[in-house]
Amino acid sequence: MAQASEPVRHTGMREHNLSLVLGAIVRHGSVTRARAAELTGLTKTTVSGLVAALTEAGFVAPADARADADGPGARGERSGRGPGRPGAPVAVSGARHAGLGLAVDADGLSAFVLDLHGTARAHEVVVRDNRTRAPDAVAAELGDLARRMLDRAGAQGLTAAGLALALPGLVDRRGGDGRTVLRFAPNLGWRNVAPDALLAAHLPPLRLPPETGNEANFAALAERWSGVGAGLGDYIHVSAEVGIGAGLIIGGELFRGTHGLAGELGHCLVEPDGALCGCGSRGCLEQYASIDAMLRAAGSDVAEPTAAALLAALTAGRPTALAAVERAGRAVGAALVSAINLLDLDAVVLGGGYVPLAPWLSGPVRDALARGPGRLRGTAPHLAVSTLGRYAPARGAAGSVVRRLLADPALVI
Amino acid sequence: MAQASEPVRHTGMREHNLSLVLGAIVRHGSVTRARAAELTGLTKTTVSGLVAALTEAGFVAPADARADADGPGARGERSGRGPGRPGAPVAVSGARHAGLGLAVDADGLSAFVLDLHGTARAHEVVVRDNRTRAPDAVAAELGDLARRMLDRAGAQGLTAAGLALALPGLVDRRGGDGRTVLRFAPNLGWRNVAPDALLAAHLPPLRLPPETGNEANFAALAERWSGVGAGLGDYIHVSAEVGIGAGLIIGGELFRGTHGLAGELGHCLVEPDGALCGCGSRGCLEQYASIDAMLRAAGSDVAEPTAAALLAALTAGRPTALAAVERAGRAVGAALVSAINLLDLDAVVLGGGYVPLAPWLSGPVRDALARGPGRLRGTAPHLAVSTLGRYAPARGAAGSVVRRLLADPALVI
């Protein structure tokens, strides 16, 4: 319990007030110092000092100059309005700080850089079969990718304050000392890997400690922050590559579960005594509706075992491929019915590898949603298709860094 | 936003302070006025006034007299300690206020009265086939049951401040004006029933407005408050009668979902293209693992279609009955695997109609939990069996009234 006689921690209060003022600017878009004082309940003098610090640190900039901060007009407008005056509005600046998002999946690595406006500033995919690679080798290549992204950000005047890493497995927050453990990534074959140690060994050190999370969770957040998820109520974002990942957005927030293990839709059981899964169960959704499972089921209708070849076979109307994807759609629909009934969800977003397949998958999924949940709930859950594609996990990871930074600018001031 | 010039609402502050003081007494068991002042930050004079009001209203009583408040020793001990002195401890009194819980299911009605200590003071079951009865007829009989319970409570000096009703269906909180709608109760055949209107027409009016909720949710809460759920982390409580109900306890609280529709484990899909369910889907768990489904599958091994006859057949080792329950156990296990993987649960509680069947059901359920979730999570989720039996929903409903009352005693002061 806090004691009344405890001295006030001025640094703590300043950190808190920096967050308050930046928070008001984030929420209201463009505010004067006077308005920021009203919104925060702080004095105008205090706000002016804090805005000066935030400006100096590159978090905010005069609002009029924002749109073309890098352009020729910026300087003129700044001097014209007098940025130090309480009447001159300030807004979040996208010119200095960035978040770096990284993602590893069975098929490669990806990276995304977002500025504080949430604008994409750089991205890259490295196609690589990670299914048989050791964590150390993947982390070393991730380090190279990260350094390239930091260089590209730097060339635009941006500094990445931190990075977040999206992994295709169960990232358990019970690792002790606040550290995470990648308990199991079935499609990488990794077990009990400590991401923090890997990142410390291979990634460039940044101001903020790195964050690790499940790729599907980051994708679901990216959808909420800059995709189709913004207008949906509670939803599940489900995507497929080699495996299946899902993230739950409930009440506008990621539902992680107490140990950070929630959202494993791929291991919902859809077939009694079905195919044995890497997790130990039989009949997991992943055995029927991952891209790999669809490729296996499509057999010789698909020229080579790639998502592109599957898409070509579907477009050409090859019957075994069509049947494979139809069946996958029914399996996804069944797992989603379970998820909706358990979690009271309003909507579903198909993402990642499901996006190009959506014309074939959506029908059976929509049928399943309309049948039981539609009748039980009075209205069928909404079905949406992601517009973020391959980069959703890395974009969500970058967004997570940006959110952290905007919530607590003192981390880098 | 609150304005600084707004006058302080003294009644609001007194209500708040009554809650504060009673809350401290609830949490700490038995406290002196001086200790209550420390715990709440209020002055001793204020606390003394509030404790006097709480005593007068029957919420608290001198702690020494609590154990035998109804017995002959009470008066003597009270006068001996001087209950008005700041040094005399007070505790929650179980002698005056009660909560009435009611439950309707396909097989009957039940009622439970709890005092403020959470002690059972009266309960009753009315066995009745409600599957073809109109809501009005059931509510009329519920009214008779409620009046009997209030009489039995009254004979013990207890007044029920409010009642809560547990219903076997989707109780939707989107009814408008804060009212609920029973959207669909498949096993009663009820659709879009307004419980508040039914209760107003047939139930005796009490001080608090009645509350309506899903029976499985109330059962899960009862398990948390006074059953095996107290020591488990996040869990799902699953029970079966004619249908299957489940309630989710996450972070110590009921997870209702945004619209109050969460936890519908019975409509998780466990069999592709399986039996058609009342909800519109095919292959819902309820079609394989409700008591009715097990009775159907046990065929002539069971002398008559009752849970007791099923139990007798299992005990006698009748093979078709054993196979039916074994299959049900595998189906329950499959649905639970999906729930655990989606929600990151630590444990499962088998309740209601599953309790007597647990010796036969537990094996296949435990196998399913150990296989996938055990490997994915590093440790298998815990499996527990309820000790509350048939009364869990009504007991949870009564507990909900008691919780509401203890959280805001001003509701009846």
Q: Which helix (H) or strand (E) holds B240?
A: strand B235-240
pLDDT given for residue B174 in this prediction: 67
For the cut 50, the answer to whether the pLDDT of residue B74 exceeds it is no
Q: Which helix (H) or strand (E) holds B147?
A: helix B135-155
> pLDDT, tens digit, for every residue of A99-156?
999 999 888 999 999 999 999 999 999 999 998 899 999 999 999 999 999 999 999 9
Name the region of A58 (left: φ>0; alpha: ψ -120 to 50; beta: rest): left
Q: How many CB pairs under 8 A join A and B?
A: 164
Strand, coil or helix: A90: strand
Q: Percentage of residues in chain A with pLDDT exceeding 90?
A: 75
Contact B122, B168 (CB under 8 A): no
Could you please state the CATH topology (level 3) that the domain comprising B229-387 is classified under.
Nucleotidyltransferase; domain 5 (3.30.420)
Across B245-274, average pLDDT: 92
Who among A251, A264, A373 is closest to B341 (CB)?
A264
How close B65 gets to chain A, by Cα (Å)?
A: 32
pLDDT given for residue A28 in this prediction: 94
Could you please state the CATH topology (level 3) that the domain comprising B97-218+392-411 is classified under.
Nucleotidyltransferase; domain 5 (3.30.420)
* List of chain A residues whose C-beta atoms are within 8 Å of the C-beta of residue B283: 334
CATH number 1.50.10.10 given to B10-92: no
Could you please state the CATH topology (level 3) that the domain comprising A98-218+392-411 is classified under.
Nucleotidyltransferase; domain 5 (3.30.420)
Q: Given the DSSP bridges, would you call strands B108-115 and B90-92 parallel, antiparallel or unpaired?
A: unpaired
Amino acid found at B268: C
* A331 → chain B, closest CA residue: B272
For the cut 90, the answer to whether the pLDDT of residue A79 exceeds it is no
The verdict on a CB contact (< 8 Å) between B342 and A269 is no
> pLDDT, tens digit, for every residue of B79-105?
334 445 657 899 999 999 999 999 998
> pLDDT, tens digit, for every residue of B99-113?
999 999 888 999 999
* List of chain A residues whose C-beta atoms are within 8 Å of the C-beta of residue B270: 269, 272
For the cut 70, the answer to whether the pLDDT of residue A174 exceeds it is no
Cα separation, B114 vs B388, in Å, equals: 14
The verdict on a CB contact (< 8 Å) between B258 and A250 is yes
> pLDDT, tens digit, for every residue of A193-224?
999 899 999 999 999 999 999 999 999 999 99
The verdict on a CB contact (< 8 Å) between B258 and A172 is no
* Domain B97-218+392-411 identical in fold to domain B229-387: yes
Give, in order, the Cα–Cα distances in Å from B8 to each of A293, B11, B12, B251: 65, 9, 8, 35
> pLDDT, tens digit, for every residue of B185-215?
877 889 889 998 999 999 999 999 999 999 9
Across A317-346, average pLDDT: 97
* List of chain B residues whose C-beta atoms are within 8 Å of the C-beta of residue A28: none
**From the CB of residue A200, how many other CB atoms can be counted at a distance below 10 Å?**
13
Q: Categorize the per-residue pLDDT at B392 as very low, low, confident or very high, splitting at 50, 70 and 90.
A: very high
**Residue B360: partners with Cβ closer than 8 Å, 6 or more residues away:** B314, B322, B325, B326, B329
Across A155-172, average pLDDT: 93
> Phi and psi at residue A168, in whole multiples of 5°?
-90, 65
For the cut 70, the answer to whether the pLDDT of residue A84 exceeds it is no
Q: Categorize the per-residue pLDDT at B46 as very low, low, confident or very high, splitting at 50, 70 and 90.
A: very high
For the cut 60, the answer to whether the pLDDT of residue B257 exceeds it is yes
Q: Of A26 and A179, which is predicted with more confidence?
A: A26
DSSP code for B282: B
* B265 → chain A, closest CA residue: A342
- Where b means 16+ CB within 10 Å and e means fewer, A125-158 reads bbebebeebebeebbebbbebbeebbebbeeeeb
The domain locations on chain A are: 10-92, 98-218+392-411, 228-387
pLDDT given for residue A381 in this prediction: 95
Task: Tell whether A281 is within 8 A of chain B (Cβ).
Answer: yes
Cα separation, B215 vs B394, in Å, equals: 8
Q: Categorize the per-residue pLDDT at A71 as very low, low, confident or very high, splitting at 50, 70 and 90.
A: very low
* List of chain B residues whose C-beta atoms are within 8 Å of the C-beta of residue A380: none
Q: Categorize the per-residue pLDDT at B43 as very low, low, confident or very high, splitting at 50, 70 and 90.
A: very high
Cα separation, B8 vs B377, in Å, equals: 52
Please give the CATH number for the structural domain made up of A228-387: 3.30.420.40
Q: Categorize the per-residue pLDDT at A177 as very low, low, confident or very high, splitting at 50, 70 and 90.
A: low
How close B338 gets to chain A, by Cα (Å)?
A: 4
Task: Tell whether B107 is within 8 A of chain A (Cβ).
Answer: no
SS (H, E, C) A352-368: ECCCCCHHHHHHHHHHH
Which residue in B268, B282, B340, B369 has the most chain A C-beta atoms within 10 A of its own C-beta, making it the best mutation to test that interface?
B268
Across B300-328, average pLDDT: 95
How close A337 gets to chain B, by Cα (Å)?
A: 7
Which residues 347-376 in chain B show a CB within 8 A of chain A?
368, 371-376
Q: Categorize the per-residue pLDDT at B70 as very low, low, confident or very high, splitting at 50, 70 and 90.
A: very low
The verdict on a CB contact (< 8 Å) between B372 and A277 is yes
Give, in order, the Cα–Cα distances in Å from B291 to each of A153, A340, B296: 62, 24, 9
> pLDDT, tens digit, for every residue of B338-382?
999 999 999 999 998 999 999 999 999 999 999 989 888 888 999
Give, in order, the Cα–Cα distances in Å from A379 to each of A333, A368, B197: 16, 13, 24
Cα separation, B107 vs B239, in Å, equals: 14
Cα separation, A235 vs A237, in Å, equals: 7
Closest CA to B345 of B265, B242, B239: B265
The complex's ipTM works out to: 0.82
Q: Which two tokens stand for residue A155?
A: 């060339």
Cα separation, A133 vs A141, in Å, equals: 11
